[in-house]
Structure 1
């Protein structure tokens, strides 16, 4: 687990209580009007949280039509979150990614399919061994059309599984870029035990499900 990277004090904070989702400040985030990110040079941006951002960044970087993926933090009520502060579970932020993509090649709807198809959709507050509100699943929408796509796909998946889908649906507000050492982490640290035992197997499972979406 990535928690081994934290100091003992932060591990204690992490294990005690994650109340970030239940506060007036967090309610203001979830009830806000969405912020729409303007397209630039024909490219759009989408935002997802699905457990460890090292894993999610690597998955989306392999999707055809995706130009760039950046790891960061989103969904919380504090400014300038860091890896250490978000891991306390008190900022409301989750580890997230910013996906820059060409909508003429891959649609937002397909990116949502990638999202649900690359995680355990029923796990609350985490993915695998990474647990806590900072690892919870969130899909961010920027307008009503995206919100409709997300909710319809979430409902269809819940019906198919006959279980509740854990992903929260948030209006996008702001994405905070993570520290430099988190960017392209799998690429720069291929022998890291977490990468070997968690991130790579997660990507391989996704690749087996959606071979047609993978870049050649």
Structure 2
């Protein structure tokens, strides 16, 4: 019995050490200076994490002024994360999207409104049945102006709902593009059971409540 207890203690000890190391690395990410992505050919980029990126991709592609949405990983402390690695929860990354948009048509502020308007804002580490740190909600800012927009909207929403808003606020550092088979997933796989039962209903809930003047006729 003592051997079992000792073995368990050692396992927990090393587990705690590993987590402490991961937390230390993650703190460096959270406290880093944000990197600003320059506007190119009149198009800007914004980054969001809000559960499964298949769902979030479809949501942002329904917003006017959004040209393209790319699925990937961000917010972690490891390089070249993969789907399998991020799913372990050990890389610090969350499934995220890169939103390529025309700032003359849609503002960053509206994209943040779409973010909060398309999720369960109080659910920690996930959306619906997709649970784990890889599905946590994060909004990434590239400069102080964006940070202030995010914080003010988050604070206002918390007061309105009288609840704690789960979304974390990170300085943007790096976006890692996900594997090819994750791109345009909702559009290419409409027959997929997850798409039919989770992604499309989530998209429809968003479109039913978000101001129509900001939505495309189709996506």
Using structure 1 for the length normalisation, give the TM-score: 0.90
1:125 maps to 125
1:66 maps to 66
Moved beyond 4 Å, runs of 4+: 19-22
Partner secondary structure for residue 71 of structure 1:
strand
Structure 1 unpaired stretches of 5+: 1-16
Whole-angstrom CA distance in 1 between matches of 2:199 and 2:120: 14
Whole-angstrom CA distance in 1 between matches of 2:201 and 2:133: 23
| 1:45/1:99 contact within 8 Å kept | yes
1:213 maps to 214
Q: Shift in Å at residue 212 of structure 1?
A: 2.4
2:152 maps to 152
| 1:189/1:195 contact within 8 Å kept | yes
Q: Shift in Å at residue 41 of structure 1?
A: 0.7
Whole-angstrom CA distance in 1 between matches of 2:193 and 2:108: 32
Output one character per residue of 1:33-54: Cα deviation in whole Å (capped at 9) or x when no partner. Answer: 0000000011100000000000
Q: Shift in Å at residue 105 of structure 1?
A: 0.4
1:200 to 2:200 alignment = yes
| 1:140/1:172 contact within 8 Å kept | yes
Q: Shift in Å at residue 111 of structure 1?
A: 0.1
Give the number of aligned pairs: 201
Structure 2 unpaired stretches of 5+: 1-15
Show the 5 A alignment for 1:1-216: 23-210=23-210, 211-216=212-217
Using structure 2 for the length normalisation, give the TM-score: 0.89
Output one character per residue of 1:175-195: Cα deviation in whole Å (capped at 9) or x when no partner. Answer: 000000000001111011100
C-alpha RMSD over aligned residues:
1.8
